[in-house]
């Protein structure tokens, strides 16, 4: 059983640029969430995708967008990068079968640095 | 507005002794709580969880206690081992929020040999 994999592991971008981060869900998982973890803080929820549709969003501006594909892999896109976007971006997958409480399984993250 | 707070950024414990990590929350709508462990350069790993209908859940060396009236939960690790050294995150969610977890800022646990 493969776990959650994210690419790339590290990325350096310039302010104003756009970035795409990728995630492959754990086998059998149909729900993917993205989190931003700034230095010294806990992860913050960005959004969640289920059946290729966004079904939950945290307090992040519209320049943060995402996609989920039929194979349950996912992308996080950030436009017009700002210095404060520098963080570790974590992808997490889970199985959603109604009101179950299966925990999130996280990938190792992508470290984004905006200069 | 931090809804989940871990007020101790770090904790050091001797190997074999008990580690107690604390977490406070303010949102009374939270009904499910989780603890995650994070090693450097890795993603958080699920450790243990508790539903708001319980006050204790145990899994091997790890026990989580929930005090709803005080809006407080704690993670006990007994006995502590050097391999337990990591950052521990407390997280919470409401039943209507699917997989949206609200995390605390974490506590760095160091278990000294």
Rounded Cα–Cα distance for residues B22 and B76 (Å): 9
- Nearest-angstrom CA–CA distance, B25 and B45: 21
Residue A31 is nearest to which of B51, B99, B101, comparing CB atoms? B99
**Touching check for A78 and chain B: CB below 8 Å?**
no
- pLDDT band of A97, cuts 50, 70, 90: low
Q: What pLDDT score does A60 carry? A: 96
Averaged pLDDT, A71-91: 95
In chain B, residues with a C-beta closer than 8 Å to the C-beta of A45 are 100-102
Q: Are B1 and B102 in contact (CB under 8 A)?
A: no
**Residue A20, both tokens:** 């795409």
| DSSP letters for B29-72 | T--EEEEEEE-TTS--EEEEEEETT-SEEEETTEEEEEETTTTE
Collect all residues of chain B within an 8 Å Cβ-Cβ radius of residue A68: none
Could you give the CA distance from residue B32 to residue B27 in angstroms, rounded to a whole number? 11
B99/A56 Cβ within 8 A? yes
**pLDDT number for residue B98:** 61
Summarised one tens digit per residue, pLDDT across range B78-96 is: 999 999 999 999 999 987 6
CB contact under 8 A, A101 and B51: yes
The pairing of strands B10-14 and B107-112 is parallel
**Confidence band of B65 (pLDDT split at 50, 70, 90):** very high
Banded model confidence at residue A27, pLDDT cuts 50, 70, 90: confident
Nearest to B106 by CA among A84, A108, A44: A44
A115 close to A14: Cβ distance less than 8 angstroms: yes
Looking at the complex, does the CB of residue B39 fall below 8 Å from at least one CB of chain A? no
pLDDT tens readout for residues B10-48? 999 999 999 999 999 999 999 999 999 999 989 999 999
């Amino acid at each position: 059983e493969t776990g959650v994999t994210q690419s790339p592991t590290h990325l350096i971008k310039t302010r104003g640029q756009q970035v795409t981060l990728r995630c492959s869900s754990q086998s059998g998982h149909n729900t993917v969430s993205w989190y931003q973890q700034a230095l010294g803080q806990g992860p913050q929820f960005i959004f969640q995708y289920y059946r290729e549709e966004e079904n939950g969003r945290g307090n992040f501006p519209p320049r943060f967008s995402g996609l989920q594909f039929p194979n349950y892999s996912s992308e996080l896109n950030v436009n017009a990068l700002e210095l404060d976007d520098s963080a570790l971006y974590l992808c997490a997958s889970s199985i959603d079968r109604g009101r179950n409480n299966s925990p999130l399984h996280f990938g190792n993250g992508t470290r984004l640095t905006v200069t | 507005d931090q809804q989940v707070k871990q007020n101790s950024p770090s904790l050091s414990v001797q190997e074999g002794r008990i580690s107690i990590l604390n977490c406070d929350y303010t949102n009374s709508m939270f009904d499910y709580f989780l603890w995650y462990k994070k090693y450097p350069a890795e993603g958080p790993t699920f450790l243990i969880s508790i539903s708001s209908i319980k006050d204790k859940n145990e899994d091997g060396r790890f026990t989580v206690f929930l005090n709803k009236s005080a809006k407080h939960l704690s993670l006990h690790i007994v006995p502590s081992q050097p391999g337990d050294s990591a950052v521990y995150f407390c997280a919470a969610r409401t039943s209507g929020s699917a997989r949206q977890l609200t995390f605390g800022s974490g506590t760095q646990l160091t278990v000294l040999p």
